[in-house]
Amino acid sequence: MKYLLTFFLLFLFVLPMEAQAELKMTTEDSSTFYFIRHAEKDRSDKTNKNPHLIQTGHLRAAKWSYVLEHVKFDVVYSTDYNRTKETAGPTAEKNGLEITIYDPKAIDGYAFKKANQGKTVLVVGHSNTTPMFVNAVIGKDKYEQIDDSNNANLYIVTISGSGEVSDVLLVID
């Protein structure tokens, strides 16, 4: 009886600790990626390939930092264009981070996921590169190019420690 009681107590205390350890490991290994397109850019000069944001764009960039204010980012990525860096800036600053530049022509979803495993990441891109990047990370062609007038999409992709992927598209206007 004494052994049975000892076994029962051991079972009662060890099993929950193992479950907590498993949950902690899975949570720590989880990655969450937030993808947005740059805010409204200056369209006054059609020959300018690297325009800045207009005032509405700066307001949207600030709004993104408030929409995402409860998210603690580990890294903020942007393409090397004025409009994307200006969009990423307020959120990066709020998190005390420098912006990391990525090349939208060299997206490797697998390598990106591996390099950012266990992190919370913001990625700022373009109407054509953002959905393409999301698709590369989730491993399927789910999202199409964003309409040029749409600067309000927020894609959230979570990858659990076990590799399970969930994604959602929100429109924040």
pLDDT in tens, 57-93: 999 999 999 999 999 999 999 999 999 999 999 999 9
Q: Give the model's pLDDT for residue 156.
A: 98
Q: Is it the case that residue 5 has pLDDT exceeding 70?
A: no
**How far is residue 171's CA from residue 121's CA, in Å, rounded to a whole number?**
18
Q: Taking the domains of the chain in order of start, what are their residue ranges?
A: 30-171
**How far is residue 120's CA from residue 99's CA, in Å, rounded to a whole number?**
14
Q: Give the model's pLDDT for residue 27.
A: 55
pLDDT confidence bin for 173, thresholds 50/70/90: confident
Give the chain's mean pLDDT. Answer: 88
- Sheet containing 165-171, strands listed edge to edge, beginning at the edge strand earlier in sequence: 99-101, 75-78, 120-125, 31-37, 153-159, 165-171
Mean pLDDT of 97-108: 97
Q: What is the per-residue pLDDT across 131-163, written as a single tens digit (0 to 9) for each?
A: 999 999 999 999 999 999 999 999 999 999 999
**38 in Cβ contact with 125 (< 8 Å):** yes
Tokens at 64, concatenated: 């993104």
Mean pLDDT of 3-24: 41
- DSSP type of residue 44: S
Can you list the alpha helix ranges (DSSP code H) found in 2-140? Answer: 2-29, 55-67, 82-94, 109-115, 129-138
pLDDT confidence bin for 128, thresholds 50/70/90: very high
pLDDT, greater one: 106 or 173? 106
What CATH architecture applies to the domain 30-171?
3-Layer(aba) Sandwich (3.40)
